[in-house]
Every structure is written in C-alpha cells, then in structure tokens.
Structure 1
Amino acid sequence: MDDKTQTAFRARITARLTEIDEEDARGEAGQATVELDQQAVGRLSRQDALQSQAMARATHARRDIERRRLRAALTRLDEGEFGWCEDCGEEIATARLTLDPAITRCISCARG
C-alpha cells in the first residue's frame, strides 16, 4: 500500500474518531440517572426513561468498541502493519479496508 493510500485511510479513521466523540457528547444526556420521583414522572414514563437510558448506554458501549478498533488501526498504520492480515500475513484487499478500515484479517481468514 502506497503512502497516499495510507494517508487517505489515516484521514478517514481520524474523521470517524472525531464523529464518535461528537456522538458521545450528544448522547451523554440520554445516559443520565433517571429520577425516582413518582410525583413528577408517572410509572410508564419512568419505564420509558429507563429503557431510553439502557439504549443510550448500549450505543455508547458500541461506540467505545468502534473507537478501540479504529485506534488500533491507527497504531497499525504507525507500525507499518496496516493492510496486512494478522493471521496469514497476506495483504488485505483495499476494497475490504475501504468498507471497514479497522479490519485485521483478509477475506480468506475471515471466512475460516
């Protein structure tokens, strides 16, 4: 993989990490503690709030996983290992990396 392609992947990964940070900032309110005040919020409204809170936390957890995978991809770029299968050592197709730059295995190894 040439330097121009690596630079493009680095920019794409960095942009996605920025998007994830922005999504986290917007999602913080949804993870706030749900108050137990039955006078202010009815039972069903509270259940809805708890469900929304659980969904917000699950979404945050998925973003954390994606963030770790993307940071690992940046590390592989820095170390010259980006684009190479961690199992067999063969080059991962650029089209596959374009779909998900955090991929660590070629299609053959991913299929098993």
Structure 2
Amino acid sequence: MCRCCWCVDVALDLDLFREKLLLLKQMLLAREEMSKEGRAPVTLEQDSVGRLSRIDAMQVQAMALAQQRRRESERAAIDAALRRIEEGEFGYCITCGEEIAEARLFNLPSVASCIECARQK
C-alpha cells in the first residue's frame, strides 16, 4: 500500500463510509425486527373485531408491508455500496462513471449515481 498522504486520506474516507453504511444497515435491521408485529396477518374473526377495526388493522398491515419493501430496497442499496467499496468503485457514478460529490455521498452513502444522472431518471 502506498504511504503518500492522498492514499491514506482516501482509505480513511472509505473506512468512514463503510462504518456509516454498516451502521445504517444495523438500524434498518433493528427497525425491521420492531415492525414484525405490524406485518402479521390480520385475523378476520367476526366475533372478536368489528368491521371498522378490521379495516384499520388491514390498513396498518398494508403500511407495514410497504415500509418493509422500502427497507429491503434500502438494504439492497447499502449492500451494493459496500460491494462497490470492496471493488474500488465506490464514489463513482454507475451510469456515467464520473465522481459523485463527497457531500452527496456523506448525506446518502448508498447513492450510486451522481446528481446529474439522478436528475435525468
């Protein structure tokens, strides 16, 4: 490994982004664990729950499932960013190959596109 100042700074930055991504993934997994109850199937027993209560329960379940899909998408983006770090491609747009602004990466480390390519989508 090269010992010049630039290479050391880049390695430290990648470590920072790796740690941030792993923390985000850990937080997602914790939220997923907490929301398991909301995704449970709604029982439709006529005797135990009124019609409006069942509708409310079904809406809560639908929202919990939608949140779960978002978390799965976020987790996939985080895993992809971690792979890009390992492969030496982190920080470069997957569409045009240009560098992604460091401020953009810091705010959303799982981002895979530069701002220009993201605007075009």
Q: Secondary structure at the match of 2:98?
A: coil
**Does residue 116 of structure 2 align to residue 108 of structure 1?**
yes
Q: Distance in 1 between matches of 2:118 and 2:56?
A: 39
Q: Secondary structure at the match of 1:2?
A: helix
**Does residue 94 of structure 2 align to residue 86 of structure 1?**
yes
Q: Residue 34 of structure 1 aligns with which residue?
A: 42
Matches for 1:57-68 after TM superposition, within 5 Å: 57-68=65-76
Task: Kindly state the Cα deviation for residue 102 of structure 1 after the two structures are TM-superposed.
Answer: 1.4
Counting aligned pairs with the same residue, the percent is: 45
Q: Distance in 1 between matches of 2:87 and 2:53?
A: 51
Q: Distance in 2 between matches of 1:55 and 1:88?
A: 35
The alignment's TM-score, normalised by the length of structure 2, stands at 0.88
Q: Distance in 1 between matches of 2:110 and 2:24?
A: 11
Superposed CA RMSD in Å reads 1.1
Structure 2 unaligned blocks of 5 or more: 1-8
Q: Residue 10 of structure 2 aligns with which residue?
A: 2
Task: Kindly state the Cα deviation for residue 111 of structure 1 after the two structures are TM-superposed.
Answer: 2.8
Structure 1 unaligned blocks of 5 or more: none
**Does residue 23 of structure 2 align to residue 21 of structure 1?**
no
**Moved segments of 4+, more than 6 Å:** none
